Each structure stands twice: as structure tokens, then as C-alpha cells.
Amino acid sequence: MDINCSLAKQMIAEGAQLVDVRSTSEYMQGCLPGAQSIPLDVIQAAEKMLEKDKPVILYCVSGARSGMAKMALQNFGFGEVYNLGSFRNFFAC
């Protein structure tokens, strides 16, 4: 995790993009409010689905997949990418 709950919520309120990198079936079982689903195995699609000039906040179950997605997005040229870690961290504040 490299962003805390309160900062994540503030950034989302200011227009940051919230991305759920869990599988589609996990996403369908429930997601954070306003989250967009881009599973880790198709993260390359993010280049067409996200705006590179807006911050991106990623989450999954444990933080492992969102950490991998963060590295991938940075390699694709996204400047501001944050790993919230587990979706549970969103409710920690």
C-alpha cells in the first residue's frame, strides 16, 4: 500500500480514477463506489480506458495484483499511479 484511505478518498473526490484489478467475477461480487474494472490479466487495456493525465488508484484483495498493475501502468507512461492495496483499506478511515 502506498496511499492511505483518507488521501485516496480525497483524490477520488477530486477526479482520480479508481481501478479494481481483481477478476471480473470478483468485481461482480462487489466493488468500491465508482471503481472501474480492469482485471490485471488485461491491464494493457488501461491505455484505452484511462486518462494518463489523471491520477490512478488501484486496489485488489491483498495488494499484490494492484502492485503489479501499478508497475505496468507506470511502464505504459501513466505518471501518477497509487496502490491502495486491499479494498478493505478504503474503509480504514
Percent of the chain with pLDDT over 90: 96
Q: What is the mean pLDDT of residues 69-87?
A: 96
60 catalytic residue (yes or no): yes
Chain mean pLDDT for the chain = 96
Residue 69: how many other CB atoms lie within 10 Å: 24
**Could you tell me the end-to-end alpha-carbon distance of the chain, in angstroms, rounded to an integer?**
15
- Between 19 and 93, the more confident residue is 19
How many domains, the chain?
Answer: 1
- CA dihedral for 79, 57, 60, 1, sign (positive or negative): positive
- 22: pLDDT strictly greater than 90: yes
Cα 23 from Cα 13, distance rounded (Å):
25
The single residue of 5, 31, 60, 93 carrying the catalytic annotation is: 60
Cα 41 from Cα 8, distance rounded (Å):
24
CATH of the domain at 83: 3.40.250.10
Give the domain extent around 68: 5-91
- 80: pLDDT strictly greater than 70: yes
pTM of this prediction?
0.96
